[in-house]
Amino acid sequence: MRRIAGLAGIGLAGLILLVAAAGAWAWRAMETLPPLDLAPASARSTVVLDRSGALLRPFATADGRWRLPVGAESVDPRFLAMLRAYEDRRFAAHPGVDPVALARAAGQWLAHRRIVSGGSTLSMQVARLVEPRRARSLDAKLRQALRAVALERSLGKAGVLDLYLALAPYGGALEGVRAASLAYFGREPVRLTAAEAALLVALPQAPEARRPDRFPERARAARDRVLDIAAARGVLDRAEAAAAKAEPVPRAKRPFPMIAAHAAEEALAETPGTPVIRLSLDGRLQASLEALAAERAAAAGPGLSAAILVLDNREGRVLAQVGSAGYLEPERRGAIDMTRAVRSPGSALKPFVYAMAFEAGLAHPETLVEDRPARFSASYAPENFDQTYQGTVTARRALQLSLNVPAVALMEAVGPARFIARLRAAGADIRLPREAAPGLPVALGGLGLTLTDLARLYAGLARGGDVPDPLRRAGPAPERGPGRAITEPVAAWYAADILRGAPPPENALPNRIAYKTGTSFGYRDAWAAGFDRRVTVAVWVGRPDGAAVPGLVGRFVAAPILFDAFARIGGEPEPVPRPFDALVADTAGLPPPLRRLGRDAAPGSQALKIAFPPDGARVDLGLSERARPEPADGLALKALGGVPPLTWMVDGTPVAQTARRNAAWTPDGAGFARISVLDATGASDSVTVRVE
């Protein structure tokens, strides 16, 4: 007995020495291994998300792999439980290497002279993925074990698990559980069925041999083994495992999401290499409007595309950006982002002609205007779209019916150069034909701009004249510089109030949104833009190549899309609030100079013209001095011609009304001023001066 006890003691001492020697060797080997380079394993596919974090579009890595960012918190807990039960039951307890599993694997190998079960832990599998080696030798296995321990020491259990979830192979270019879940099930891995979770656990063991899109029966068999083990180890009950086995395995891959494809590409180009890009878009609204654009473009005719842009009026955030009717449709040139293409807007800019006329005191929504055949120059005699005339109408009615002659008359009064300058000052990139000087035809669409700029300008009307800069990224709004005003608040409300009464398209309810349509010359572009207090929507329909499409009219093609888009946004449209100083009156209640717009003076009289100050003058009244012993003198105003009484206005505000042709105005500070004079017939003249 003593001899046996002695031998046992010697054996135990030898075992302790062996373990100690092995530990010392492992420690020394780990210290002498070169540092593990985790940079390649850290590479992830760029993902573009909407404002709530939902996936819009992923992009492959530089080497063509789909390796999407993922962590344990974004994966179904049942998948994680099955993974541990199947791959590494003692994952939470071991230091990276499981001695029990290694001993079991070694015993089975000695007993059967073949590998019955592996001893690799999840940490060792991650080590193999991070530092792949072709050789399957004992030396490679030992190196793998040492790397596993080092990984756990540096990253912890959570870091190792996250690496496995991101790097596990799933066949082909798929890496990580998120890419596999999207490819095989079409959804994120945060919520999986038992059958789906089991399949994703089984595939990394033999990713090519078990690919369900190539070998569905092998994939099913592997999945069912995982379900059996999960049931045996208490992760699932037997009935649940049996029900999961009855589910079919997917036999084909699904395409990755490609929502807001144009916006995603633009964002990636702006910030290349950024792993996660979050846009301001509403993913559900974006998908809904993409379907709407595709449906309506297909109904409109072959080769036609459509674009839709939605802005939040409060901050100017882009809520939806549909660049085409189908990104992958070459016959519609779907890869072209038509929200950024320069096209002719037709009548869509008329509201801004009216707003500037209202601001300058040239007209009011109830001012009477003439819609009759008129010649504005030797060669320019505009006609209405339907080639009919309405006679004498209010400015309100003229804009609601989109009459051309009144719009050109107002443009003549406002001045084309001033009109273009105001649009550009508001941030719109206006293109003129061959950089020609602006003329009266710009009132009817004789220029080019983008759908994005049109949406911004209409959002400016909803914001009291303040044109927003479109914000395409989620997160806090950046500090905004001085505002870009297209007009002052009262004039903006006048235009919005008029547009809210525009006749709606067929089967749509009236007086819900303020909107205007446009049709470019030759039926090449159909436009519609509208807004309420909350949002602005702009729509374009046409051929990206600019070809003419007979019958392509904004009211019949683009306006129905606009109203449908508002319906999909949801909520009851809210009108823009009225400024307290807006003048609400009928034609008879207006000041006499505002009752009628006249292009010419009364018969037999000289045309009305401001004689002093001249247009563009700089007048020194002593206003620029820091201190003055007495107030500055008033600025003398003098007119020639016209029919008294004359009304003088500065920046749209009346300052004098007199039967004589002389008046005076005392400015309250230095700066630019727009001085206008109106006579009893409605004729007017304006100049811009700088007082100092």
Kindly give the pairing relationship between strand 368-371 and strand 391-394.
Answer: antiparallel
SS (H, E, C) 509-578: CCCCCEEEEEECCCCCEEEEEEECCCEEEEEEEECCCCCCCCCCCHHHHHHHHHHHHHHHHCCCCCCCCC
Residues carrying an active site annotation: 87, 347
| Three-state secondary-structure class, residue 417 | helix
Q: How far apart are CA 540 and CA 343, in angstroms?
A: 9
CB-based burial of residue 427 (10 Å sphere; 0-12 exposed, 13-18 middle, 19+ buried)? middle
| Vertex 618: Cα angle to 614 and 624 (nearest 5) | 150
Residue 509 · residue 567 · CB < 8 Å: no
Considering Cα of 519, then 525, then 526, then 529, what sign does the dihedral take?
negative
CB-based burial of residue 237 (10 Å sphere; 0-12 exposed, 13-18 middle, 19+ buried)? exposed
Q: Which CA distances in Å does 519 have to 447, 528, 554, 627? A: 13, 9, 5, 56
Q: How far apart are CA 219 and CA 199, in angstroms?
A: 7
Beta bridge partners of 640: 609
Q: How far apart are CA 370 and CA 433, in angstroms?
A: 29
Identify which of 127, 66, 73 has the alpha carbon closest to the alpha carbon of residue 95. 127
Give me the amino acid identity at 515: Y
Give me the amino acid identity at 533: R
Q: How far apart are CA 86 and CA 194, in angstroms?
A: 14
Q: Which CA distances in Å does 543 have to 203, 291, 304, 529, 547? A: 46, 18, 5, 18, 6
Q: How far apart are CA 417 and CA 391, in angstroms?
A: 28
Kindly give the pairing relationship between strand 55-58 and strand 47-49.
Answer: antiparallel
Beta bridge partners of 673: 689
Q: How far apart are CA 205 and CA 217, in angstroms?
A: 15
As a whole number of Å, the CA-based R_g of the chain is 37
Q: Which CA distances in Å does 638 have to 133, 321, 406, 614, 664? A: 92, 52, 28, 10, 8
DSSP state letter for 252 = S
Tokens of 120: 């690799």
CB-based burial of residue 678 (10 Å sphere; 0-12 exposed, 13-18 middle, 19+ buried)? buried
Q: What DSSP assignment string belongs to 293-330?
A: HHHHHHHH-TT-EEEEEEEETTT-BEEEEE-SS-TT-G
The span from the first CA to the last CA of the chain, in angstroms, equals 119
Identify which of 398, 447, 402, 404 has the alpha carbon closest to the alpha carbon of residue 596. 398
